Amino acid sequence: MTRTAHLGIEPLLDRFAGARIVVLGDVMLDEYWWGRVERISPEAPVPVVAVERQESKLGGAANVAQNVRSLGGMVTTLGIIGADRAGEAVCTRLSEQGLDTAGLVVDCQRPTTVKTRIVAHNQQVVRADFETAAEIDAVTSDQIAAMCQAALADGAAGLVISDYGKGVVNRRLLEQVIGAARAQGRFIVVDPKDTHFSSYRRVTTLTPNHHEAGFVAGRRIRDEESLRAVGFDLLRQLEADSLLITRGEKGMALFEPIGDGRLTTIPTVARHVYDVTGAGDTVVAVLAMSLAVGGTMLQAAYTANVAAGEVIKELGTAQTTVDAIRRALAEIPEPVLSEIT
């Protein structure tokens, strides 16, 4: 058992400003319709929501990019939008955050992915998704890969792949961008989708939740023994530099191929959980920023754990800042990390 002094991450936070990251993946728009329920519909046994206001936020890879920007980073965002109102809204919101939209390819044959959540009395009633999850064609895939390679060659520290299974990330694209990043000595952080796991080979780290990791490994994570078996099995299969399994209220588990294998469990620091939407986006953004400024994988994971504890206090996709992470560090006790080799 190792007691940390917050793993010395304060100096890392000092260097976040200006770090350059490429974010590639499924760009989305998250819509929220807020209202109240006062009656049940006479047409069906469902609540009638009287909508009082609407708002939209960036989602998916766009939210990852926004998280990097809120931490002081510079971002190249690569993905697909449709020639529609939602695509325009994504571009507007990215621009408002000082983020370039040149890397967003407009595909007239598919809509911008939109998740519309109807919320009444701060409780989500239903979600409607507008999307086409078919894979993008080879020409578009190659176009995105070429932009990614150029951004990495132009000085970006690393690549984040945000895979929500909406069609942008495919085997062809993964082979190209992972190969390019490794050839240029850049790190690769993946927020994975189970359908593509076999293609995430030789990346720096992946961040599946415990349900996803167990499903891919063919074994449900029920206890520490099954956690260890699943984590090291995936680490070996993918030949990854590390694997970070997020475990909800149990925190995170970091697997590294050090010696015969090292597992470090990181307890959660969240005291108030309001909404976990977008927490994974924050995790990969903070991991990337930490690695970009020279942090170890353990430092990056610990910082991401603290940051995730901040964003789940809010309803909907949210972002955190360096100052918010500093305040959180000042308020939480130094944890005891369990290291098992």
At 310-326, the pLDDT tens digits run 876 555 556 788 998 88
Beta-ladder partners of 120: 35, 123
100 tagged catalytic: no
Surface-to-core class of residue 188, CB atoms within 10 Å of its CB (0-12 exposed, 13-18 middle, 19+ buried): buried
- Output the pLDDT for position 313: 58
List the catalytic residue out of 154, 163, 281, 323.
281
- Output the pLDDT for position 63: 94
Fill in the DSSP letter of residue 209.
B
- Output the pLDDT for position 340: 61
**pLDDT tens-digit map of 205-230:** 999 999 999 999 999 999 999 999 99
Strands 336-340 and 262-266: antiparallel
Which architecture does CATH list for 2-340?
3-Layer(aba) Sandwich (3.40)
* Stretches in the chain below the pLDDT threshold 50: 1-4, 273-276
d(CA 145, CA 167): 14
From 197, 203, 200, 202, select the one nearest 217 (Cα to Cα): 197
What pTM was estimated for this model as a whole? 0.91
Residues 192, 211 contacting (CB under 8 angstroms): no
What is the rounded radius of gyration, in angstroms, for the C-alpha atoms of the chain?
20
- Output the pLDDT for position 318: 63
**pLDDT tens-digit map of 183-211:** 999 999 999 998 899 999 999 999 999 99
